Structure 1
Amino acid sequence: MVKNITVKIQDQTFALHPLGGLFWEEKSMLLISDVHLGKVAHFRKFGAAVPRKAIHKNYLLLDQIVSDFEPFQICFLGDLFHSTLNKEWEFFENWVAKTPAEIVLITGNHDIISPHKFENLGIPIFQELIMDGFLLTHHPEEREGYFNFCGHIHPAIKLKGGGRQTLRLACYFKTNNQLIFPAFGAFTGTHTLKPKKGDEVFAIVEDQVVKI
């Protein structure tokens, strides 16, 4: 059973999902970062031995989280696609066609596919969005007066156990004025962050989000 954690930020309610997406309840908006669609096809093209079935994994995960929240709008916080156009674009077109939610994209450094391709699917593209005191970006941003939702980092937390055992878990990483999303994509790496005093870490442990 999937277990979310709900947090309050600036009097707004957000549910943190173990797949790596956040649901803004008041807006009925699902925010997701760093899906990196097309990455499997990109690596296979250059000879990497990645199973073909891995291509479909991200779409199954997207279907699951959309089904769990039934959002009015989906906002991708950058790096929706990993690289240049490849055959996976057809899968994305089919997914958009059957997904009832409105979709918007905030561009990331990997989003190099022509904006016209997205606009033809009815997906508007932005460099950033500002909504009710929240700043939505791909790269982490510090801007006075705003709380920043962002991605790019693929954050993880390293936990230490007995016998020199360590465990690294993808996480949501929250500071006083920022929340960095974990990468949603099933074929992505992570970057370990060290929390400072006052930071909050919400680790993804199988089907749960656990505050560390």
Structure 2
Amino acid sequence: MYWMEFLTVAVIHLLAVASPGPDFAVVVRESVAHGRRIGVFCALGVGTAIFLHVAYSLAGIGLIVSQSIVLFNALKWLAAAYLLYIGFKALRAKPAAPAAAQSQAPAPARTPRAAFITGFVTNGLNPKATLFFLSLFTVVINPHTPLLVQGGYGVYLAVATALWFCLVAMLFSQRRVRDGFARMGHWFDRLMGAVLVGLGIKLAFTELK
């Protein structure tokens, strides 16, 4: 009975999740810099954050945020500040130390928990995601659709998002791909830092329409 509505939701979500943005940039950076396992945990963080958007959309809080310039701007500036923070950290990347120095003082390993939090916060604070889910649950999905069915849509959106970014993580963490980026060394980190800073600045100037 709700298959056509579900297919509409699935297609719109596919188009949205496939377009490069902060989530994509963060997952790629984690995967290239730290490998498949860390990239996948970052992807799972992004997917888990979808439950946050779905929850407040079903509760009607997203509508309140979309109607309040103060709340929207607060969320926008938090998200922009976070992207700028991780972007500037990447911009400060230094050339790899000589092998001898590395053996004496190895860099601390990236933890799955830190990668998961990075993915979760990046997606969870994104006000564009707020507006996307608000429009999805108020315009695309019929308000008379049972709450249980809408919740099912939400589970699908979270799982599909996590799977998509897990595929991204697996692609960019392949040995050949990582070796290619590794030749750029700290320049890759700086490039991704510039991308994240640019996304943060763009987000900071996003206006509530």
Instruction: Specify which structure has the bigger relative contact order, considering alpha-carbon pairs within 8 angstroms and separated by 6 or more residues.
Output: 2
TM-score, normalised via structure 1 length: 0.22
Larger helix proportion of the pair:
2
Larger strand proportion of the pair:
1
TM-score, normalised via structure 2 length: 0.22
